[in-house]
């Protein structure tokens, strides 16, 4: 019989009645997918739970204590029999309540079932607030905090933010990497942000970002694991930092990039790096680029004075324009001076040229290209304001002789018509400045003028235009393709990234990207913003009725053209039918003006039968002239102006005129400005630019044009600097006709231009099927 072993000693049991519990808070998260009865869909949600339990020694309990309940805590040979402390436990629950927690009424897999007393917070913001500001005080109070793997707010602090800039001295680009330092490791943020944007584009869109407060944060999981427990690293990125970063690096939205490569940007993008200066970033390299950006951003702080030899007093906004052009010149950049007509773009440019000469920098000639009609204007203003500039006009048959001594001049003037013809000779001459006036003349990048201008070598290129965008965004691309080739990508990429999303889909985010990209290189001021001394301008729609004969012909032409247009659209599609559509609309517009404009139409000798609009015009002119008004009358049809002339001569009304055939433009301008004649007839194309007619106080547009910018330019012949009288603008519109529909389309074109140039909101503009229906609608 084996010897019997002695029984182990009974553990000593210690009874403890006053040990306070240690609170333990266990935090966990779970992504649940639940059926939503309202929408009938499965909807995902993140569930978070805080489990409260009480430690008595090493023993854990939770829930309400039973009367006189005790807890056994075995520690080796000693067992402690501990009384639960209901009042202390309740105080800890109240502490939870004070932090915003409420008992969780639904079960969740965020924490194991029956492992603790479950609490929850009302929303994600409350959880973030708790973990960021209230968790550490609990630890300091003695609470034990346990975070389960995958808890969404188990966050690692960001030690620092950095920017690496790798400049390429030989090229016009630089590489940019922006990142954070976490647990001593550098982590590039670009692939992280790009991944977020691709998964949830709305989250970081400009519109969404604008609604976020700077102190709000974005929780991001990195492709990195913690050193201590191997859990994925999560960090908080403040929106106050993200907003300037994302607005600066908007290419993130547009490019399909590899996840790890740095972002390659054009040198001109350095202008936007200045937006990051307010952030506390550790910069590595890029000092010159950042200085470039700061100087362009803060150009108004650069000192500038009018040239000594300038024979004019520059207004503050004109001096600001000179400062902007000088800043661009120092930085080796070009730009678009896009001021409204009448604000003195010519004067500002002449001052810029003269300042370059006086500084000694103009050791080569500068070239200004313009429409032929503006040659006299540039000659006169240069002689008047900058007599110290030696100006040569390369125009006419004698220009060949001047090409032998171009270096004798400071400023050369030529025209868009002559530039392609003379380009081989001009391309041999290095230029100091190259200026395109009325630069919308190169809005078609494939035109001979645009291609010739691109061949010229100059230290700085400038565009002057009151209408940088007339019809579509492709025109803006053409200007910047001349100024900074490649800056907005090639035409195909620009259409994909900007034009189609903005014009066809009304994409406000892409619009904001585009405006932020071009803003440093486009200076645009409206008259109402800067020329406060200008008197009021009142626009009046003067409705007219078609004569009976016009109505009959209008309906006949409309039916024939409607049938022709629909056949064309059916066979070729809307986009490829534009020429036929515009030709059909031209005929309808001619009918609205006067029956005699329509080819092949014979009319009776009775004047009243040819045009209700002409009758209305003559009544309006008689009334206005009797009141002493001085009038500019515009029509895009020179043949219509000829018919108006007949009426004026029959009524012995004196007038002067400028059309495309006018050789001497100075004489009619002088006579009108001197008050010798009260009426000036002008064709829209020939007289929409380059005229200063401040003697006028009334403008009449006989027929509407598709492009509101062209009409506004014409109006600005009178409503410009120097005008001291209120200006009244009459638009003669045949009611219920294609002219009324054109007015409506004009408004949409104006919205597109305002959206891009003035950073407003833009609706797309293009002829769509609904427009076709409206344009060819029958008379009521």
Beta bridge partners of 42: 35
Radius of gyration of the chain (CA): 38
Q: Which two tokens stand for residue 264?
A: 């390659």
Considering the domain architecture, whether residues 143 and 274 belong to the same structural domain is answered as no
Q: Of 426 and 726, which is predicted with more confidence?
A: 426
Considering the domain architecture, whether residues 25 and 169 belong to the same structural domain is answered as no
- Label residue 268 by pLDDT band (50, 70, 90): low
Q: Which two tokens stand for residue 120?
A: 């929850």
State the CB neighbour count (10 A cutoff) for residue 59.
15
Residue 628 lies inside a defined structural domain of this protein: yes
Nearest-10 Cα torsion for 148, 150, 156, 162 = 170
Beta bridge partners of 49: 28
Nearest-10 Cα torsion for 770, 637, 672, 628 = -60
Cα–Cα distance between 512 and 128 in angstroms, integer? Answer: 31
Q: Please report the DSSP string for 189-202 in residue order.
A: SHHHHHHHHHH-GG
Cα–Cα distance between 382 and 555 in angstroms, integer? Answer: 53
Cα–Cα distance between 355 and 69 in angstroms, integer? Answer: 94
Considering the domain architecture, whether residues 254 and 282 belong to the same structural domain is answered as yes
Q: Which two tokens stand for residue 577?
A: 């039918």
Considering the domain architecture, whether residues 425 and 485 belong to the same structural domain is answered as yes
CB 350 within 8 A of CB 382: yes
Domain count, the chain: 4
Q: Among residues 530, 546, 561, which one ends one of the domains?
A: 530
Cα–Cα distance between 243 and 209 in angstroms, integer? Answer: 6
Pairing of strands 411-415, 391-393: parallel
Residue 759 has pLDDT above 60, yes or no: no
Residue 218 has pLDDT above 90, yes or no: no
Considering the domain architecture, whether residues 280 and 374 belong to the same structural domain is answered as no
Residue 615 lies inside a defined structural domain of this protein: yes
Reported in sequence order, the residue ranges of 644-726 that DSSP labels E, i.e. its strands, are 656-658, 679-683, 698-701
For the chain, counts of helices (H) and of strands (E): 29, 29
**What local confidence, expressed as pLDDT, does residue 285 receive?**
64
Cα–Cα distance between 241 and 215 in angstroms, integer? Answer: 9
CB 565 within 8 A of CB 584: yes
Q: Of 749 and 130, which is predicted with more confidence?
A: 130
Please provide residue 554's backbone torsions phi and psi, each rounded to the nearest 5 degrees: -55, -45
Q: Among residues 147, 173, 191, which one ends one of the domains?
A: 147
Residue 71 has pLDDT above 60, yes or no: yes
Cα–Cα distance between 124 and 216 in angstroms, integer? Answer: 12
Q: Where does residue 307 rank: exposed (0-12), middle (13-18), buried (19+ CB within 10 A)?
A: buried
Q: What does DSSP assign to residue 504? A: I
**What local confidence, expressed as pLDDT, does residue 600 receive?**
58
Cα–Cα distance between 137 and 93 in angstroms, integer? Answer: 16
- 385 φ/ψ sector (left φ>0, alpha ψ -120 to 50, else beta): alpha
Residue 271 has pLDDT above 80, yes or no: no
**What local confidence, expressed as pLDDT, does residue 2 receive?**
60
Considering the domain architecture, whether residues 130 and 169 belong to the same structural domain is answered as no
Q: How far is CA 394 from the centre of its chain?
A: 38
- 600 φ/ψ sector (left φ>0, alpha ψ -120 to 50, else beta): left
Cα–Cα distance between 302 and 392 in angstroms, integer? Answer: 32
Cα–Cα distance between 635 and 304 in angstroms, integer? Answer: 43
Region 539-551 average pLDDT: 83
Considering the domain architecture, whether residues 265 and 401 belong to the same structural domain is answered as no
Continuous H helices in 496-626: 505, 508-518, 527-530, 548-572, 578-593, 612-626
Q: Of 395 and 337, which is predicted with more confidence?
A: 337
Cα–Cα distance between 625 and 604 in angstroms, integer? Answer: 29
Residue 3 lies inside a defined structural domain of this protein: no
What distance, in Å, lies between the first and last C-alpha atoms of the chain?
125
Residue 302 has pLDDT above 80, yes or no: no
Residue 7 lies inside a defined structural domain of this protein: no
**What local confidence, expressed as pLDDT, does residue 361 receive?**
92
- Label residue 262 by pLDDT band (50, 70, 90): low
**What local confidence, expressed as pLDDT, does residue 368 receive?**
96
- Label residue 459 by pLDDT band (50, 70, 90): very high
Cα–Cα distance between 271 and 242 in angstroms, integer? Answer: 18
Q: Which of 68-77, 303-312, 763-772 has the highest mean pLDDT?
A: 303-312
Residue 72 has pLDDT above 70, yes or no: yes
Residue 504 lies inside a defined structural domain of this protein: yes
Mean pLDDT, all residues of the chain: 80
- Label residue 172 by pLDDT band (50, 70, 90): low
Please provide residue 90's backbone torsions phi and psi, each rounded to the nearest 5 degrees: -65, -35
Secondary structure string (H, E, C) spanning 392-439: EECCCCCHHHHHHHHHHCCEEEEECCCHHHHHHHHCCCCEEEEEEECH
Q: Of 531 and 89, which is predicted with more confidence?
A: 89
Cα–Cα distance between 57 and 636 in angstroms, integer? Answer: 96
Considering the domain architecture, whether residues 245 and 383 belong to the same structural domain is answered as no
> Which domain covers residue 449, as residue numbers?
303-530
- Label residue 209 by pLDDT band (50, 70, 90): confident
Cα–Cα distance between 357 and 363 in angstroms, integer? Answer: 8
Contacts of 747 (CB under 8 A, 6+ apart): 708
Residue 780 has pLDDT above 70, yes or no: no
Q: Which of 138-142, 224-228, 316-320, 454-458 has the lowest mean pLDDT?
A: 224-228
Q: Among residues 487, 506, 530, which one ends one of the domains?
A: 530
User: Of 255, 253, 294, 298, nearest to 273 (Cα)?
Assistant: 294
**What local confidence, expressed as pLDDT, does residue 667 receive?**
86
C-alpha dist (Å) from residue 130 to 25, 126, 686: 13, 6, 71
Residue 484 lies inside a defined structural domain of this protein: yes
**What local confidence, expressed as pLDDT, does residue 764 receive?**
38
C-alpha dist (Å) from residue 194 to 26, 164, 215, 258, 265: 34, 18, 22, 10, 16
Contacts of 441 (CB under 8 A, 6+ apart): 371, 416, 449
**What local confidence, expressed as pLDDT, does residue 358 receive?**
93
Place of tokens 């620092």: 160
Q: Which two tokens stand for residue 430?
A: 């290095």
Q: What does DSSP assign to residue 182? A: E
Task: Report the CATH number that the domain containing residue 617 is assigned in CATH.
Answer: 3.40.50.300
C-alpha dist (Å) from residue 213 to 151, 157, 158, 217, 362: 25, 20, 20, 9, 50
Residue 603 has pLDDT above 60, yes or no: no
Measured at the CA of 681, the angle between CA 680 and CA 686, to 5 degrees, comes to: 115
Q: Which two tokens stand for residue 367?
A: 């070239």
What's the residue count for the chain? Answer: 780
- Label residue 543 by pLDDT band (50, 70, 90): confident
CB 620 within 8 A of CB 651: no
**What local confidence, expressed as pLDDT, does residue 12 receive?**
74
- Label residue 138 by pLDDT band (50, 70, 90): very high
Considering the domain architecture, whether residues 713 and 578 belong to the same structural domain is answered as yes
SS3 at position 9: coil
Cα–Cα distance between 358 and 540 in angstroms, integer? Answer: 48
**What local confidence, expressed as pLDDT, does residue 54 receive?**
95
pLDDT tens by residue, 345-368: 899 999 999 999 999 999 999 999
pLDDT tens by residue, 427-452: 888 999 999 998 888 887 788 988 89
**What local confidence, expressed as pLDDT, does residue 319 receive?**
92
Q: How far is CA 9 from the centre of its chain?
A: 85
Considering the domain architecture, whether residues 314 and 381 belong to the same structural domain is answered as yes
Task: Report the CATH number that the domain containing residue 347 is assigned in CATH.
Answer: 3.40.50.10810
Report the percentage of the chain scoring pLDDT > 70.
79
Cα–Cα distance between 614 and 645 in angstroms, integer? Answer: 11
Pairing of strands 41-56, 59-61: antiparallel
**What local confidence, expressed as pLDDT, does residue 763 receive?**
37
Q: Of 313 and 277, which is predicted with more confidence?
A: 313
pLDDT tens by residue, 662-678: 777 788 888 888 889 88
Cα–Cα distance between 390 and 402 in angstroms, integer? Answer: 13
Helix axes of 738-757 and 473-483: crossing angle, nearest 10 degrees: 40
pLDDT tens by residue, 676-689: 988 988 887 776 66
Nearest-10 Cα torsion for 416, 320, 468, 746 = -130
**What local confidence, expressed as pLDDT, does residue 607 receive?**
47
Residue 2 lies inside a defined structural domain of this protein: no
pLDDT tens by residue, 93-123: 999 999 999 999 888 888 998 889 999 999 8
Considering the domain architecture, whether residues 562 and 456 belong to the same structural domain is answered as no
Cα–Cα distance between 590 and 640 in angstroms, integer? Answer: 9
Residue 169 has pLDDT above 70, yes or no: no
Q: Of 216 and 575, which is predicted with more confidence?
A: 216
Q: Which two tokens stand for residue 101?
A: 């927690």
pLDDT tens by residue, 497-529: 777 777 777 777 777 777 777 778 888 887 767
Region 758-773 average pLDDT: 51
Region 723-740 average pLDDT: 81
Cα–Cα distance between 149 and 232 in angstroms, integer? Answer: 9
Helix axes of 448-455 and 473-483: crossing angle, nearest 10 degrees: 20
Q: Please report the DSSP string for 114-152 in residue order.
A: TSSEEEE-SSHHHHHHIIIIIHHHHHHTT-EEEE-TT-T
Residue 606 has pLDDT above 60, yes or no: no
- Label residue 605 by pLDDT band (50, 70, 90): very low
Considering the domain architecture, whether residues 49 and 178 belong to the same structural domain is answered as no
Residue 154 lies inside a defined structural domain of this protein: no
Residue 559 has pLDDT above 80, yes or no: yes
SS3 at position 208: helix
């Amino acid at each position: 019989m084996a010897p019997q072993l002695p029984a182990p000693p009974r553990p000593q049991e210690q009874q403890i009645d006053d040990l306070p519990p240690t609170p333990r808070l266990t935090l966990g998260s779970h992504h649940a997918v639940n059926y939503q009865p309202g929408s009938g869909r499965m909807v995902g949600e993140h569930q978070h739970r805080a489990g409260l339990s009480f430690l008595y020694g090493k023993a854990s309990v939770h829930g309400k204590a039973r009367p006189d309940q005790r807890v056994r805590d075995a520690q080796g040979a000693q067992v402690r029999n501990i009384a639960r402390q209901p009042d202390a436990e309740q105080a800890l629950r109240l502490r939870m309540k004070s932090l915003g927690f409420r008992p969780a009424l639904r079960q969740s897999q965020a924490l194991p079932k029956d492992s603790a007393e479950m609490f929850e917070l009302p929303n994600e913001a409350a959880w973030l607030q708790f973990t960021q500001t209230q968790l550490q005080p609990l630890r300091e109070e003695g609470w034990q905090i346990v975070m389960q793997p995958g808890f969404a707010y188990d966050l690692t602090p960001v030690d620092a933010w950095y920017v690496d800039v790798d400049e390429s001295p030989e090229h016009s680009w630089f590489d940019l990497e922006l990142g954070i330092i976490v647990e001593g490791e550098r982590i590039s943020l670009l692939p992280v942000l790009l991944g977020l944007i691709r998964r949830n584009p709305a989250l970081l869109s400009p519109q969404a970002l604008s609604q976020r407060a700077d102190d709000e944060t974005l929780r991001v999981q990195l492709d990195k694991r913690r050193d201590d427990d191997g859990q994925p690293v999560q960090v908080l990125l403040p929106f106050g930092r993200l907003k300037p970063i994302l607005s600066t690096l908007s290419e993130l939205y547009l490019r399909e990039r590899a996840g790890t490569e740095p972002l390659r940007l054009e040198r001109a993008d350095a202008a936007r790096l200045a937006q990051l200066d307010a952030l506390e970033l550790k910069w590595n390299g890029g000092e010159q680029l950042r200085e470039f950006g700061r100087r362009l951003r803060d150009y108004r702080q650069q000192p500038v004075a009018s040239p000594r030899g300038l024979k004019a007093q520059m207004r503050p906004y004109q001096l600001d324009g000179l400062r902007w052009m000088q800043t661009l010149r120092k930085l080796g950049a070009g730009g678009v001076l896009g001021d409204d007509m009448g604000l003195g773009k010519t004067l500002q440019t002449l001052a810029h040229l003269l300042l370059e000469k006086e500084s000694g920098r103009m050791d080569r000639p500068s070239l200004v290209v313009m429409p032929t009609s503006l040659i006299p204007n540039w000659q006169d203003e240069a002689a008047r304001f900058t007599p110290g500039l030696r100006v040569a006009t390369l125009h006419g048959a004698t220009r060949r002789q001047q090409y032998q001594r171009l270096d004798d001049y400071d400023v050369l003037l030529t025209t868009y018509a002559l530039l392609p013809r003379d380009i081989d000779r001009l391309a041999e001459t290095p230029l100091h400045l190259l200026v395109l006036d009325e630069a919308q003349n190169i809005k078609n990048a494939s035109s001979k003028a645009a291609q010739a201008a691109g061949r010229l070598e100059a230290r700085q290129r400038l565009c002057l235009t009151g209408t940088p965008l007339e019809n579509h965004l492709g025109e803006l691309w053409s200007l910047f393709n001349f100024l900074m080739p490649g800056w907005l990508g090639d035409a195909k990429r620009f259409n994909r990234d900007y034009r189609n999303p903005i014009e066809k889909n009304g994409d406000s985010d892409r619009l904001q990207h585009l405006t932020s990209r071009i803003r440093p290189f486009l200076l645009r001021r409206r008259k109402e913003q800067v020329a406060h001394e200008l008197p009021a301008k009142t626009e009046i729609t003067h409705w007219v009725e078609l004569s009976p004969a016009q109505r009959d012909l209008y309906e006949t032409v409309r039916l024939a053209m409607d049938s022709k247009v629909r056949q064309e659209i059916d066979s070729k599609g809307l986009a490829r039918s534009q020429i036929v559509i515009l030709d059909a609309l031209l005929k309808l517009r001619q009918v609205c003006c006067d029956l005699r404009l329509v080819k092949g139409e014979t009319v009776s000798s009775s004047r009243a039968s040819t045009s209700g609009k002409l009758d209305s015009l003559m009544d309006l002119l008689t009334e206005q002239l009797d009141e002493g008004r001085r009038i500019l009358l515009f029509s895009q049809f020179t043949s219509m102006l000829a018919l108006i002339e007949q009426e004026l001569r029959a009524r012995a009304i004196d007038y002067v005129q400028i059309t495309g055939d006018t050789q001497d433009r100075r004489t009619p301008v002088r006579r009108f400005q001197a008050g010798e004649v009260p009426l000036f007839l002008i064709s829209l194309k020939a007289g929409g630019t380059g005229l200063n007619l401040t003697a006028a106080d009334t403008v009449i547009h006989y027929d509407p044009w598709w492009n509101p910018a062209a009409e506004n330019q014409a109006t600005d012949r009178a409503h410009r600097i120097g005008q001291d009288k209120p200006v009244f603008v009459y638009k003669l519109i045949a009611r219920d006709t294609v002219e009324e529909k054109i007015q409506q389309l004009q408004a949409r074109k104006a919205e597109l231009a305002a959206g891009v140039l003035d950073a407003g909101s833009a609706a797309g503009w293009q002829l769509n099927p609904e427009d076709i229906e409206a344009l060819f609608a029958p008379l009521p």
